[in-house]
Amino acid sequence: MFVLIYLAKNMEKPALIHKYEGSHEFSLLNLKNGIIYFNPPSNFNDPYDCNSRFQLYLNDSDLQKYKKGEFPYHEDRSIEVQIDFNNTSNKDIKKMLFQSAKKVLDTSMRENRQKTGIACFLEVNDNILMWSHYANSYRGFCLEYDTSF
């Protein structure tokens, strides 16, 4: 069994952790088979859960290098494309670059939300809110895991 625990900086690992489960068939099958389900964020009811925020910034010096084709990781440009770049305002180039970067980031984040799995654990087994939300309105169960090994 593999348990991943995220600990805040300078926090000691708890001796025991708990996972609240509903009384659903899949929860019982996971218990029977010793499986911990890692739910992808794309299944969460809050669409903003696990979203990352990025702030894109391109300074004028880097923009000039990009326009001249000196920016790292650029593709070789034809003369026609280079002329178009030279005739395009910095504002329009920034807008195009930001739109392109946003599209790449959005696609990457969407793919990661589908590939990533999250399982949540608490140090306590008597949290009323967790029992109501994650243990099927008090009809589920709470698993206890020993983290000492």
Residue 25 has pLDDT above 70, yes or no: yes
Segment 23-51 shows an average pLDDT of 86
What is the predicted pLDDT for the residue at 29? 93
Instruction: Tell me if 18 sits within 8 A of 30, measured CB to CB.
Output: no
- Of the ranges 40-54, 98-112, 133-147, which one carries the lowest mean pLDDT score? 40-54
Q: Which pLDDT score is estimated for 74?
A: 56
Percent of the chain with pLDDT over 70: 86
Looking at residue 54, its amino acid is F
CB 20 within 8 Å of CB 130: yes
pLDDT at 7: 57
Rounded to whole angstroms, the Cα distance separating 131 from 125 reads 9
pTM: 0.61
> Which residue in the block uniquely carries the two structure tokens 């140090």?
123
What 3-state class would DSSP assign to 15?
coil
Between 32 and 85, residue with greater pLDDT: 32
Kindly calculate the radius of gyration of the chain based on its CA atoms and give it in whole angstroms: 24
For 144, the 3-state DSSP assignment is: strand
| Tens-place pLDDT, residues 88-123 | 888 888 888 888 888 988 888 888 877 888 888 999
Instruction: Determine the Cα–Cα distance for residues 77 and 69; give it in Å rounded to an integer.
Output: 8
* pLDDT tens-digit map of 50-75: 777 777 777 888 887 777 777 655 56
At residue 3, the pLDDT reads 45
User: pLDDT confidence of 42, banded at 50, 70, 90?
Assistant: confident
